Chain A
Amino acid sequence: MNSPSIALTAHLALLSSISFGGFPTVLPDVRNFVVTTHRWMTDQEFADFFAIAQSIPGPNMILMMSFIGWKVWGFPGAVASAFATFGPPCAIYFAAYRLWDRFRNAPWQRIVRLGLVPVTMGLVVASGTVMARAADTGWRAAAVSIAAAVILLGTRLSPLWLLVAGGGLGGLGLLR
């Protein structure tokens, strides 16, 4: 490995280990590191990587870091960046789940659940709302979001059809 790719991989591994609340929370730091400090890419390139990673299926933050790795060191850089992004958190998740599972049905676990789950589900609804606003191109897009939520809650229709319908309406230019 050349020295820029080692620096990038080590930095991503560090950031992924402290990215509480999901990888997007450390994105500003990634930008500083690759654009400002090392000048491996321009701000425009960084923004393009973000937009593309968000709009293709798959693990989008891991993909975005892979684009950055690709830019720095081609295919090996892309692979190294991907591992640095998901490897350390995977180990932490596994250890934490083992611990939680060991205390299954303990009285304190029930209390933690009753306190914890409503807060995190409020946050899930909120992140859907924030995304709906980000995607928003007016009341038509908002209507699509609301309709998708109501249909998923009220019917057994596969969510895939709702995504296809949303993409179709958008492609026909009906959401502008």
Chain B
Amino acid sequence: MSQAAREQELDQPVSLAALFVAFLKVSLYGIGGGGGLVWAGRIAVDQRRWITDQEFADIVSLCQFMPGPNIVGIAVCIGAKARGAVGTIAAISGFLVIPWGIGLALGLLYLKYAHLTVMRNILGGIAAAAAGLLIATGIRLLMPHRRRPAAMLFAGLAFALMVFSKLPLLVILFSLVPLGIAVAGIEAARAR
């Protein structure tokens, strides 16, 4: 798709109902934690084209730095991008109201049957697939940076520190990100 056509498509006004439904889906499909990220990208970038891959990566990164459930932050930002404050309210309502009601009812029921083996097995299989989807989403959003060795180095460091060290996430973020930005600043200065 040409740049102009893409921009025009991105400029179409987004209906509040569409935002509500999109984040209702993100919420209900995002089983097992972290999966919401996969679905938010799939729906808002690939299907609806409300935002570009780059804007999505920006939003995800921004939300890493904020307190609270990151996926709620993604709903807030995409809603704000599409329709401002009312868009945020539509996205958040879609994400929370119905799934919360279903989840609360299911959970109170499920507390009685949590010990059943077959339930545990099904949930284990879903969790394994969901983990793979999360990995693929991270790799896809890294792809635009693959030609920059510094970017690959920082992605690799972040991955390794998170998986193999016992350091808290905040320590990793606040040590790697300023370094990464400094290196990007030097690259930009050299390119000039």
Interface size class of A (residues with CB under 8 A): 35 or more
Q: Given A92-B66, A121-B142, A145-B135, A116 and B77 touching (CB < 8 A)?
A: no
Instruction: Select one of B27, B32, B58, B179 contacting A59, CB under 8 A.
Output: B27
Contacts of B88 in A (CB 8 A): 90, 94
Instruction: Select one of A100, A125, A176 contacting B138, CB under 8 A.
Output: A125
Contacts of B131 in A (CB 8 A): 128-129, 131-132, 135, 145, 148
Stretch at the interface among A3-11, A13-21, A32-40: A13-21
Interface of B is mostly: helix
How many of B's residues come within 8 Å of A, CB to CB? 104
Interface of A is mostly: helix
**B133 an interface residue at 8 Å Cβ cutoff?**
yes
- CA A70 – CA B124 in complex, angstroms? 27
Instruction: Select one of A18, A85, A110, A166 contacting B130, CB under 8 A.
Output: A166
Instruction: Select one of B125, B132, B156 contacting A171, CB under 8 A.
Output: B125
B157 to chain A, nearest CB (A): 7
A130 to chain B, nearest CB (A): 6
Mark interface residues in B65-78 (1 if CB within 8 Å of A CB, else 0): 11111111100110
Nearest 5 pairs of A and B residues by beta carbon? A170-B125, A89-B68, A166-B129, A148-B132, A122-B158
